[in-house]
Each structure stands twice: as C-alpha cells, then as structure tokens.
Chain A
Amino acid sequence: GYVRSLREESVKKCRILKESFEPPTLLTAALTHISFYILMFLGYLSQTLFPPKIVKEKNRDGYPSLFDRFASFYSRYVYRRIRDCWNYPICSVPGNEVVLKDRVTNDNGWTFEFVGSKTKCLNLASYNYLGFAENSGPCAEAAIDSIYKYGVTTGGTRQQYGTCDLHVELEKLTAEFLGVEDAITFGMGFATNALNIPALLTPGCLVISDEKNHASLILGIRLPGATVRVFKHNDVKHLEQILRENIYNGQPNQPQGEYKPWKKILIVVEGIYSMEGTIVRLPEIIALKKKYKAYLYLDEAHSIGAMGKHGRGIVDYFGCDPKDIDILMGTFTKSFGSAGGYIAGSKELITFLRQNSFASKHAWAMAPPVAAQIIAVLKILMGRDGTNEGQKRIETLARNTRYFRQRLEQMSIIIHGNEDSPVVPILVYLYSKIAAMVRMLIKEKIATVGVGYPATPLMEGRIRICLSAAHTKEQLDYALQVIEKVADELGLKYSRKPINPNPVEYDKIKVYEE
C-alpha cells in the first residue's frame, strides 16, 4: 500500500512522500522461483552436453584456475542466453533519441557481428535527466573552446601542476549552486566515493549504510577498515534502532567488556536510489543525526539537477538546510551530460580533502572540456545565461515524471519508488521476461534497460526507465502505447490496486505546489 510520512518537530515545511512498493502475488513469486531453477538446471545440462569453445588458456598448463566455477558457469550458461540485451553499442549522442548499431549473434550469444545498419530509437535508458547530453549549443561550444585554450587534459594531478582556472571556477560555482561554503571536484564519480571516504574514516569508527547503497559507496566504506552496519532500505526506524544500540553498547570486543564509545558515527545514504526509484527520507534522517550526534554523507549522484524546484537536489526538494548535511557528494555524469564528481561542504572539510584526498594526490585532474561543459550547464541552471532555459527544463522533467508514472499506474503495471523520481522501475519479476521485454521494445524502436540478478534481488527483475526533460509529450505517449501493448502480450499487469479512471492530462499536472 502507500506509505505516508510526515516530518516532525523543528522542520518548517511539510511534504508528504508518496511511495509504493506493491509486493507480487504468491503465484507470481512462486513462478519466478520455479523459472529460475529451470534456467539453472538447463544451464547445468548445457554445460555437460555442450562445453564452451574457448576452454584452454595458452601457456597455462598446470596453473590453478583464474576464476571461480560458479561465476564462469553463470556467465556462460545463464547470462549468455540474454546477453544481447546489454552492452548495445550506440553511434550518436545519447539525447532523447539514440542511434543503435544493429548486431546479431549467429552462435547463441558467444559472439556478435555487426549487420551494418543503424536504428534510431527513443532513448529511455541514458541518464540524461535534464537533456544536456547535446552535441551543439552553448555547452558543447564551451567544451570545444576549452580544448584549444587548455588542452584535452591537464596532464597532472590536482596537487602537482594539474589545476587550471576552470577547476577553480567550477568549484566556486558548485558551492554557490548548492548553498555551501566550498566544493572540490574529481575526474570520476565512482572514484569520488571510493577515494575520499577512506580519508575520513579509521578503524574505531562506525558507518551505518543503507541496504541498497551503490557499489562505489560500499567500496569506499570497506577500504579504511571501519565497522559497518546496514539498515533496511529507507527504514528510519531501523536506523534509529541501530544508532541507539551502538551508542549504548559502544565498540564491540573490548577487554573485560568495558564500555568504549565509537570514535565517530557516519550515516551514508543516497538521494535517489537508481535501482529502486526511492527518495531518501532526508528530514527525518537529519533529525536523527542531530539527536544522536552522528555525521551524514549524502550521495546525490542521480538527484542533483533532477530534483528540487531549482534543481539543487534532494536538499532543495525537501527544503532542508544544506549546512545540516556534513558531506554533500554528487556526480556530473547524469543531469549535466558530462563526467566527474564533487564533494561539497564546509571550507574546513574541503581544505582537508584538498590536502589528503587520494584522488587529489594520485589521480589525474578533471579534463578541461568536461569542466567547461559543467560550468556552462550550471550557469544555465542558475539563470546566469540570461534565459529561463534552466527552470524550464527542471519543470519539464518534473511534469514528465508525474505524467509517465501516473499513466503507467493506470495500466495496472507495478512500478516502484516515489512519484517524483525520474527513475521508473517496471517490475517484471521473471528473468526471461526481462529479456523478452527489452527485445520487444527495441523492435518497436525504444531503448530501455533491463536489470536482474545480481544487481537487484533474485526475484525482482525489472525494466528501468530514466525520464528526461528532453522527452516530448508525443514521445512519452508513444512509449506508453508500446509498453501497454507489450504488457498485455507478456502478462505484466500484476497490480491489484484500484485504478484512477480519470484520464491524466499532461498540461494540468501541478509540479512543486506549496
């Protein structure tokens, strides 16, 4: 059913979170389990009857095997059957339409060959929330100018002759955009998490991380040797329970059972979870962190630019104070059409990172064209280019999101996540349905992403759609029409909720009402 949450106590505005996680029927769950066992059985059968072509390594007789057996079995006999749904090569800019390079497999998925033709598809897969993945326009021009002014890369680390004016300008603008004192940028979003969290933690610290956190966060938390506790996805009560337990018990395994409090406690959450489409319960978590004296790390990889009245992320969406969050992190890959990541916060924190971050010391600085593109996008979003293009895009995205989600729910298709999240996972449950749906959609010229085990729980295969401000109403209508057709054919109308019979009108949708 619907989960409602009202923020308590000292926070000003009030926002009701509408999220839904309708569970499947018992029959569906049972069928999904059975289908998976059949797949595994067929896989084992194939492995015994048809050994793979590439079996032997050269010059490696008598060596212990490099890979574990289950991983190679899974990859060759289960994943291979539907391998064609992923890694599809494109040959255009990933805007609201993308050109796919057609390929076929003549040997059941072992190898692929290009046919030579190209297909233009509606792009519901790329992380292009604000539509800034463009190959022309002010952002692309700024990127190209910077190539001639600064070079294709700066050729060094930030600490050793790799910093250029663009980095300084970008960091200033980012800090202003987010409403904090200072920011620091890095060349890769994954590395921003994996290389900076270790600089903040030591053994003796406690990290409480959400169940569904991204792999880069998990890696960054594991590396420094701090203790990790996981709380159930977005479950604030469980988080509070863990906080209370750990403040009460302190560090475990102390000599003579004496009480030793943790050095520091860090809560790590994301803004929008990319596989679930949920939005973090930020105001409640901020209240908790203040009460229990913990620090908060917020990873806004998907939400920066895509959420909030002014595109400033989850903090803007809830109207919270950015200074309440100790470490704000985000990436420029999604809404900004570029690459790289940032961390923002107090001047003290950022100066510390400039000196001690592994990325500043050992990894190359962000390339100038990448930085120039982000600066151009930030200026548009803040309205500094003299137009209201930024605001228009933010509103279009919000409107597209609500429209698409409401229409999908009307079709009795189960979707997860918050009604305002531009990440829309359509639950299909069965492994084989993921492949069937992706292939059927590509035939109808729509590019989508199917996700299954191990990125999601075993029984919850899904098709994940990423909406964009660049999508027009006509494109969305076409997509919805095709999805309805495919849902009928494949039997995806699992929802048993009552449907709102009134037609959803695009222009009448209210976004960011107070």
Chain B
Amino acid sequence: MYDDVLFEQRLNEFKPEPLITPIETNAEVLEIPMVKEDSNNIDLAKANYLNVLDNEEIKKASEDLIREYGVGTCGPRAFYGTTDIHLELEECLAKFLHMEESIVYSYGFVAISSSIAAYCKKSDIIFVDEHANFPIHQGLIAAKSKVVKFAHNDPKDLKRKLLQVAENEKRKSRKFLIIEGISWATGKLCPLPDFIEVAEEFKMRVFLEESYSFGVFGATGRGLTEYFSIDPTRIDMIFGTLEGAIGSIGGFCAGSNLTIEHQRLSGSGYIFSASLPTYLVKVVLKSLELIGDKPKQLAELAKTFHQFLEECKFHVESHPEAPFKLITATPKSDEIKIYQHCKENGVHFIHNDNGLMINLNINLLQEKDKLDRIYRVLKGASELIN
C-alpha cells in the first residue's frame, strides 16, 4: 500500500538520464573503410596473414557453395542448422589440432566468451593475464567467478598468486588458467611449457586461446602445441577465433570428447544462435587444406620485418615470429605522427589503444617492390621521431 500523492509527486519529479551520453560533435572518424589497394596504397590493416582473402580457389569454392546451400542456414545447430559441411569442419579441426573433438561457433567474440561461461561457475577461481583480451573479460563477467590477475606472461608471478590463494582459501575450489598464445594487446608469445608445468602442479585446468597463433606457429600451422612440441592432451581446451590467419568468420573450441560435448548443451552462444553460414565454413576447410608451408613463409617474413623495425630503432613489443607487429612509442603523440606519415605515403595500418598494429601478408614475399616501399616509408617515419 502506498501514498498516491507521494507517488504522483515522485513520478512528476522523475527525470531519467538520457538513454545515451551525448557525443562531442567533433569526434574523429568513427568507422574507417577498407583500404582500396592500388598502385598508391598498400593494405597492412586487414588480417590476411596467409593471403586467404585474395585466393581465387577459395573464392570459387565459396561461390559453388552458395549455389548449393544458399547464404544463411536459417536455424540454430539443433534445429536443422547443422549441415554436413559443419560436421566435416568440426572433424577436420579436431584432427588438425590432434584433439578428440571440436565445436564451431558463428562469431569469434562469442566463441571465446561463451566457452568460458559454460565451464566456470561462481565458486571457481580463474587466473588470467593482466592484459587479457576483451572477449575473455566479457566471458569472466558472464561466469561470475572470482578473477585473479597475474603479470603479463610471467609463470613465476602466477605461482606466487596461486600459493597466496591456496593459503587463504577455506575450501578447495576449482581453478582455471586462461592464457593467450599471442597476446592481443602486446603480440608477445606466451611461455606455454612453463605455464603448463605450474598448472599441473596445482591441478588447474588450462584454456589456451589461439586466435593469432592458429595457422601461424609450428611447421604445419598447428599452433603453439606444435611449436613447443607439447602433447595437446595436457591442455583442457584450445579455443579462439577463425578470423585471424584462417581468414573466415567464426570461432572454435577443441578438446576432449567429454569437454566439448558439455558445450553442446551449455554453450549459450552455440545453442541460441543460428549456425555459421555454410560458405564461411567452406572457407575454413579450404584454407586448412591449402595451408601447405605458408606458416613457414610467414615466420620468415615476420622475422625479417622484425629485424628491420629494430634497425629503425622502433620499439617493437611483439614477438619476432608474431603475424602482426606492434609498435609503441612514448610520447603517444609520436605514434600519431608515424601513423599519419605512413598513411600519407600510402601505407595503411591500424592505430588503436595498444599502439600501431601492422598486419603482415605472405604475398609481400612475392611482391618485393611493395615490401621495399613499405620499408622506405617506415624508415622515413622513424627519422621523423628520432
């Protein structure tokens, strides 16, 4: 029971905040369009490491598939949205990664956050890197677990934090470790063997996120498990987006039968969403089929590029073999100078909160004059700030 007069007064005085905070009118360009590659412009902004997006065979395969299955699948996986191509991809991914089973999501971001939320509950403790990427953070919020951050790529700090937690907890809780193969924020390679050692000592589940290392590291592109020669069954789940080297859209998780079957009934981004359009599934299949020795070529290009950048006295955060180069500069205004200089000279790459991100492409190995031009422009930029 309540007072009508008071209610009317409160209703009249109720001034809700505006739905959105108003934006300043002189904000910079909100959406940057694709670079049109021509004689004056070189595109180093697209994530096209193995040159999948320009491959004619893949484009023809996509066309053939649209002529057979249409574009959309019009249903979630459980309700006739599963095509035989989806099943083929899941089998192929599992075999490629030497895991028992894999599951494919229709969006990379959702694959990462849904899979974390499917396993981690309120009573668990999750250890993540301090620079973990945004989808992982969303997954952690959705999971409502307790989160402990450790220093970037530092297994010793992880061990310290683990001992602290183990001392202070009254009841033994489940512990998870989420690490990125190549960090999205810094491009550094994670010391996987050391992390796994710590995890096995404390009986922690290991989830390895391989968006930028899948298709890049290892002789056949299998990722960090091949690069460090680690038995994949020591890792509970390898997951990531298919949007990096593979050049499609979507995400995947791979692990043991038990682990992945669980997601088919509790991964909300899997159950409550339409399945990935069939032609994008075919792009992944074809991309894996044609992978050949492209990872090795990319590693060569990455190392040479890294060396060149260091010679120009740029501060390069990323690992020499990482598929993208991350350059930072202090003060921040120098980064803007480099970015503008290169853009004016026709070399386009990404400038975000982490720094300057240059996405490599293996076809630069064939197009020597393009590569030389990029080197010239970057050298010019480095002279600007030094």
Contacts and interface: CB of A to CB of B under 8 A. Distances in A.
Interface of A: 54, 57-60, 62-64, 66-68, 71-72, 75, 79, 86-95, 98, 100-101, 123, 125-128, 133-136, 139-140, 143-144, 147-148, 150-156, 158-165, 187-191, 194-195, 200, 214-216, 219, 222-223, 244, 247-248, 250, 259, 261-265, 292-295, 326-327, 331-334, 336-339, 348-349, 351-352, 354-355, 358-364, 367, 369-370, 373, 447, 449
A159 B71 contact: no
Given A126-B74, A140-B71, A449-B79, A158 B31 contact: yes
Given A127-B75, A223-B142, A264-B19, 20 more contacts: A59-B233, A63-B205, A66-B119, A75-B262, A88-B80, A89-B87, A126-B80, A136-B67, A140-B70, A152-B58, A162-B34, A195-B109, A215-B271, A216-B268, A259-B10, A261-B10, A261-B15, A262-B16, A326-B19, A364-B107
Given A156-B45, A364-B249, A98 B268 contact: no
A214 to B, nearest CB: 7
Contacts of A148: 59
Interface in B36-71: 43, 45-48, 52-54, 58-59, 62-63, 66-71
B67 A144 contact: yes
Contact of A163 (B34, B107, B138): B34
A144 B142 contact: no
A349 B19 contact: yes
Interface of B: 2, 6-7, 10-11, 13-17, 19-23, 27, 30-35, 43, 45-48, 52-54, 58-59, 62-63, 66-75, 77-84, 86-87, 106-110, 113, 119, 121, 133-135, 138, 141-142, 172, 174, 203, 205, 231, 233-234, 236, 241, 243, 247-249, 256-259, 261-262, 264-266, 268-269, 271-274, 276-277, 279-280, 283, 348, 350, 352
Given A125-B80, A333-B72, A367-B280, A163 B31 contact: yes
A58 B257 CA distance: 11
B47 A156 contact: yes
Contact of B59 (A91, A152, A162): A152
Contacts of B113: 194
A417 B53 CA distance: 46
A100 B16 CA distance: 53
A339 B283 CA distance: 16
Contacts of A294: 16
A362 B33 CA distance: 16
A47 to B, nearest CB: 16
Nearest to B265: A75
Q: Considering the complex of A and B, which 9 residue pairs feature the smallest CB-CB distances, nearest first?
A: A155-B46, A161-B45, A190-B273, A93-B70, A188-B107, A352-B20, A363-B109, A126-B74, A215-B272
A94 B74 contact: yes
